[in-house]
Structure 1
């Protein structure tokens, strides 16, 4: 009798063990998120979208499904670009990707994993490195994935993006100043080109209308599309420049004294005096000068020749 009881106990124990082994461990929200974006199995992106979203994308047919397929192949795209990446189902790091060719690295870290019933908000931050040094440390984006259980599957229900800028960060200030200087250089280069166009037009005008000499009217150097060239519409410069304003600068002609006029003055001054741009000036000599304070009067009286 005792032997029979032992056999029954063993059978029951084995049955319970097999039943336990047959029950898969439920997938958590973080695992679902990783599967959604980085699984090599087709269809995992769509699997973790809400039913309403899936239905809408199916109605869109070609474009919708193509978009899903593009996102679902993210891991393959990363590998194709020569980057090695690793995902983590636990711990502070969600993903680490490295490209040994350019010595760059990207880390996505989990800042918050807040499980509330059938909803889990996973907040992540992004950190880029180049040669081991943090890049764009002043820009700190964070993305929150709100996962929600639907029909027993964790689905991506909401996305929230937040970004912080460290306005006092030295690297941010350095790049901001560099960008401003580059834009100033472009504006000033364009202005110098416009000055030369007007100078050339003045010389051509004086040669074509010797009875007038130089003109102090930019509109008289304009006139495209209005019949034949004349001293009132010489068709020598485009209308935008003839308006006297271009690329943030105001152009002015003056001192066309005498008949025929043998002299002229040309100035190009920033429309915004606080922009930190230089003023430019010239005359019949063709020498362009500049004033660092952005004032036309300073340029005319004490301008330095442009090198």
Structure 2
């Protein structure tokens, strides 16, 4: 067992050194390429929040809103960029993070001639669709799961379970609403009113964002915005997306809308991980999933923990 651990740690060190060299080389090459690319690729993947889930050893890092905003600004300030291609595969995330990315995209639309195209992957729902709605054109796979336009706040009352195992809780607070959403009691009627008001306000902001981004009348959007999901094909029929296709179809559409002649030159401006996307899976393949999880938190563990700390979300 001790020998296995030493071997595993040695492999981790080697991987870190290799990843560092790869990252430094990639950064230099990216600097050389800057100004040559005419399409900026921005990936929106996983849970959308101000702090991405996962970690350096995980292949599932989520989307950090601040990093996405920096990537969009980088593309906007590059004189060679004619279009931004959003590649979205996300079930949503926090309301604030989704709105922040949307606003940065809309600012790009207003201040520049850069075309924004969204390519929807397996899922682009709720907060994922919020971001997509800022695009000039949305391309979805026929089987993409999208829609889920709405806002949700959830709480639980675990006090009956705690009573059974003999655990008691005490709360000391500065105001009557400081422990709102407490899992140790039922939600009070006045708290329900406050929470519903927050949900309604955030929901209205969501609707207004789609109306502005999609140039879609509110009366046509409202019947579709009850939280239901759509396939890409259904979404196109409802005017929630513009065309059907895969990433390469979206890239072709990008070139057409941005008047790019010849093969578009794409630069990924969303890369932010020091270790890239392959270190986690590589460690799992070398050490085995069971061995890796002894020392490193796996995506399912980190995502589950953070997921349940988010009070106001555009996802379900």
TM-score band (shorter)?
A: under 0.3
Q: Normalised by the size of structure 2, how large is the TM-score?
A: 0.19
> As a proportion of its length, which structure holds more helix?
2
Q: Normalised by the size of structure 1, how large is the TM-score?
A: 0.20
> As a proportion of its length, which structure holds more strand?
1
Ranked by relative contact order (alpha carbons within 8 Å, sequence separation 6 or more), the top structure is: 2
Structure index of larger Rg: 1
